[in-house]
Amino acid sequence: MPQSPQDKWVTLHGLSFHYRDWGGTGQPVVLLHGLASTSHIWNMVAPILVENNRVVALDQRGHGESDTPDHGYDFSTVVGDLDEFIGSLGIRQPIVFGHSWGGDVALEYAVTHQDNVKGLGFVDGGTINIAARPGNTLEQAKEDMAPPVWEGMTFQKLEERARTWRTPSMLTPAHIEILRSNFRQNGDETITARLSRENHIRIIEALWDHSPPALYPQVQCPVLLMPAREKDNESVADRRWRKEESIAEASRLLPRSQTVWFEDSVHDVPIQRPELVAGTIAEHIKSGFFG
């Protein structure tokens, strides 16, 4: 097993897309990051999965080291990118795992390319339904989900700020590398988010028109739901309740699914508890859950 992946690029729809090729043989596994993240979110999960699987992680359009056009952030286009990517590598019948928004991209992909996917996995994602939230509006969603303002921020200041929201166990050099991958450094040492604010908002607009409950009954492949929750954290009790309701709805509407809750886990569980995430995925592949 290689100690590190190969960073590669492929041209899709006239744009350059970056991906991390972890190599391996066996079941093809495609990993998708979430909104304003990158393929590096899987840096700690992929080395475990590659022991028995063929593993690649894609930087979706506008993210990471892929091109950043000012268009094409609707689900139809993003799913088209994914389909072209899978085809360009000659991958057949992959299992597609998505974190956060990446899970919703995987969901849309499975509905429109039913013959091309063996299974899906949602890592604290795949259930984003912002238009269904009572009293919500698109303008409110844009405000609530807008990215932070990073103007004047440096990598040093970013790491200092990270200490206010992350535990020491999530501030190792490997974690910092993943955090830094979300930004590019300017000539004056300030940083800029790789996903622009404008493109971030475009994805929120696409999510407004995205309804997972309408898609679930159309999914023909098995789906592994892997939501994260903190039962003892009362500050997120309302969010936890909404998540539990959405997972129950997904379990009810998906023709074939199984749910594994990641307890005492934060949203970025792939970097908080990579062994748990990778182990759960590997176990379900090995057991034949996906066929």
pLDDT, tens only, 47-68 = 999 999 999 999 999 999 999 9
pLDDT value at residue 3:
62
Q: CB of 244 within 8 A of CB of 208?
A: no
User: Residue 137 falls within a domain, yes or no?
Assistant: yes
What CATH number did the domain enclosing 16 receive?
3.40.50.1820
Whether 169 is in a domain gets the answer no
CA distances for 153 relative to 141, 184, 191, 197, angstroms: 25, 11, 6, 15
Residue 2 pLDDT greater than 80, yes or no: no
Q: Give yes or no for a contact between 67 and 81, defined as CB atoms under 8 angstroms apart.
A: no
H or E element, residue 280: helix 274-286
Domain count, the chain: 1
Q: Is residue 22 part of a domain?
A: yes
In a domain, 16, yes or no: yes
**Domain ranges, residue 133:** 6-147+195-286
Percent of the chain with pLDDT over 90: 95
In a domain, 153, yes or no: no
Mean pLDDT of the chain: 96
Kindly tell me if the per-residue pLDDT of 194 is higher than 90: yes
Q: For residue 52, is it within any domain?
A: yes
Cross-sheet strand order for the sheet of 257-259: 6-12, 15-23, 53-58, 27-32, 95-99, 119-123, 223-226, 257-259
pLDDT tens-digit series, residues 111-148: 999 999 999 999 999 999 999 999 999 999 999 999 99
Number of other residues whose CB lies within 10 A of the CB of residue 271:
23
Q: What is the pLDDT of residue 1?
A: 42
Look at residue 172 and tell me if it is in a domain: no
Residue 242 within a domain = yes
Give the tokens for residue 63. 């993210």
Average pLDDT, integer, range 26-31: 98
Distance CA 122, CA 105 (A): 10
Q: Is 278 exposed, middle or buried (0-12, 13-18, 19+ CB in 10 A)?
A: buried
